[in-house]
Amino acid sequence: RTFLQILGRVTLATILTTGGLVYYMAWKDRHPGEQLPHDPSKKTIVVLGNGWGATSMLKTIDTEDYNVIVISPRNYWLYTPLLPSVPTGSVDPRSIIQPTRYITRHKKRRVLFYEGEAMAVDPEKKTVTFQDTSPIHGEGGPSTINYDYLVYALGAETQTFGIPGAKENSCFLKELWDAEQLRSKTMDCIESAVFPGQTDSEVDRLLHMIVVGGGPTGVELAGEMHDFVVEDLKKWYPELADRVRITLIEALPNVLPMFSKQLIAYTESTFKQNKIDLLTRTMVQEIKPKSVVVKDPSGNKVEIPFGLLVWAGGNTMRPITKDLMAKMGQHQTNKRGLTVDDHMVLAGSNGTIYSFGDCTATSYAPTAQVAAQQGAYVGRLFNQLAQQARLEAELEELKRSKAELHEIDSVSKKLLKVSKYKPFHYSHQGSLAYIGSDKAIADLPFLNGNISSGGVATFLFWRSAYLSNLFSLRNRSLVMLDWVKVFIFGRDVSRD
């Protein structure tokens, strides 16, 4: 009995301490302290974007040394790895975003955030012109600001290769609003299929969900769609669920070219078991409002009816990036994106523009991992630049005041050390993807090789890795709650 009493007390004390600690952390986050005001004597950094790269840079930079201004059309950071879970309701949209002001409010010096879209960069005059493009935008027109340094981290937009109808007749999966629109359209197709008076072929069309693109975005979405059909639609729409078809169309001979052969085969066999139709070596040529025209492996043109088509065909440069490249002439000629050196300095910018992430063309894949590491690197670089400037000023002062030789020597040595800028080094943490029915795949670096694994255990690893990479305790708690909610109550089938 005494043992049980002690155990009970220890458990209670642990719960109370953990609860208190979590509450204190959340309270501290919600009550940031006073911030230093903008200082006209400091250099101004204008940051374009608040995605993976820019946010990572913001987290790392010491704003005591700079005036920082962030501009982006959305006022939050988005955790893209869980975006494919949003259209089916596996994760709530609000759980995977973090307001940018939450990040900027915790910096030492006040960071200004403007919700707006950068329209043009003038690298000669060192200005950015931006505009509030939201539906409600007061009376202010476009605004132009000066920068000493520009951080250009605008990411990329969805590549459609100019395929007719791709923009008009399909949904994308790039931003949160795409995922929300996708959710609404999916439920619209299903409810429309239930509506009386539909022909059999119309019901089949409405219940045909097509995903174009066998990269990780398309594969993860097809896997999530499968779970939704099997775990939820079967219960709430028993008469229809068996007629729902999911097709993945890919132009290349296989899906997920960035994964190992073994995992590609595992994904394709899982899709087969899950009855996801995989059409490889099939090129989409036109997307009509209700059907897609493809060239099949034998070269024949085939028209396939659909209710919903999601286009996940990859990345391309944003128009503003093309415009910036045009202004920089022979320095910027790469068709994939901006050319930067191994310190993330934009070629031709004389050290005034830093760029990284999906808007750049480097030897790395356009992933969150790369963008986040590059952003953190540039944040550290700015800290180093500020330290160098401080030491230079200190040295000058010491020389001016004819200080002791050993003092000058000590500062000179520090300055020499701090003036060495190491190039960016990428550390690959592995590739992970969810493929449906509680299975995930992982290619993980190990010693000098690679470990490939797929299945339910990898799914648990995938979940814990994605959870730990979320921005805040709030995000982690919300996503965990979403997963528990879906496990107990299933996914919500109401249409937004």
CB atoms within 10 A of CB 8: 10
- Cβ proximity to ligand NAI: between 161 and 195 the closer is 161
User: Which residues does residue 151 pair with via DSSP β-bridges, in sequence order?
Assistant: 47, 354
In the complex, least distance from residue 252 CB atom to ligand NAI, rounded to whole angstroms: 5
Please classify residue 136 by burial: count the beta carbons closer than 10 Å to its beta carbon, then call 0-12 exposed, 13-18 middle and 19+ buried. exposed
Residue 455 lies near ligand NAI (rule: CB under 6 A):
no
In the complex, least distance from residue 232 CB atom to ligand NAI, rounded to whole angstroms: 23
Question: Between 433 and 452, how does the x/- string for binding to ligand NAI read (CB under 6 A)?
Answer: x-------------------
Query: DSSP secondary structure string, 326-363?
Result: HHTGGG---TTSB-B-TT-BBTTSTTSEEE-GGGB--S
- Cβ proximity to ligand FAD: between 193 and 442 the closer is 442
In the complex, least distance from residue 431 CB atom to ligand FAD, rounded to whole angstroms: 8
CB atoms within 10 A of CB 395: 18
The size of the chain, in residues, is 496
Please count the residues of this chain forming the interface with ligand NAI, following the rule CB under 6 A: 28
Residue 216 lies near ligand NAI (rule: CB under 6 A):
yes
Residue with tokens 């729902």: 244
User: Cα–Cα distance between 155 and 157 in angstroms, integer?
Assistant: 7
Residue with tokens 């501290």: 28
User: Cα–Cα distance between 449 and 445 in angstroms, integer?
Assistant: 6
Which one of residues 26, 230, 241, 252 is an interface residue with ligand NAI (CB under 6 A)?
Answer: 252
Residue 88 lies near ligand NAI (rule: CB under 6 A):
no
Residue 337 lies near ligand NAI (rule: CB under 6 A):
no
- Cβ proximity to ligand FAD: between 301 and 336 the closer is 336
Residue 283 lies near ligand NAI (rule: CB under 6 A):
yes
CB atoms within 10 A of CB 496: 11
**Residue number, nearest CB to ligand NAI:** 215
User: Cα–Cα distance between 481 and 470 in angstroms, integer?
Assistant: 14
- Cβ proximity to ligand NAI: between 109 and 439 the closer is 439
CB 211 within 8 A of CB 223: no
- Cβ proximity to ligand NAI: between 251 and 302 the closer is 251
**Residue number, nearest CB to ligand FAD:** 51
Which window, 227-235, 240-248, 251-259, 379-387, contacts ligand NAI (CB under 6 A)? 251-259
Tokens of 84: 């494919």
Tokens of 383: 């800290």
Tokens of 112: 């200004």
In the complex, least distance from residue 122 CB atom to ligand NAI, rounded to whole angstroms: 30
In the complex, least distance from residue 474 CB atom to ligand FAD, rounded to whole angstroms: 19
In the complex, least distance from residue 81 CB atom to ligand FAD, rounded to whole angstroms: 3
CB 328 within 8 A of CB 353: no
In the complex, least distance from residue 313 CB atom to ligand FAD, rounded to whole angstroms: 11
User: Cα–Cα distance between 11 and 27 in angstroms, integer?
Assistant: 24
Interface with ligand FAD (CB under 6 A) = 48-54, 71-74, 80-81, 83-84, 117-118, 153-155, 173-174, 217, 318, 320, 357-359, 366-369, 371
Binding residues for ligand NAI, per CB under 6 A?
81, 161, 163, 212-218, 220, 249-252, 258, 283-284, 312-315, 365-367, 431-433
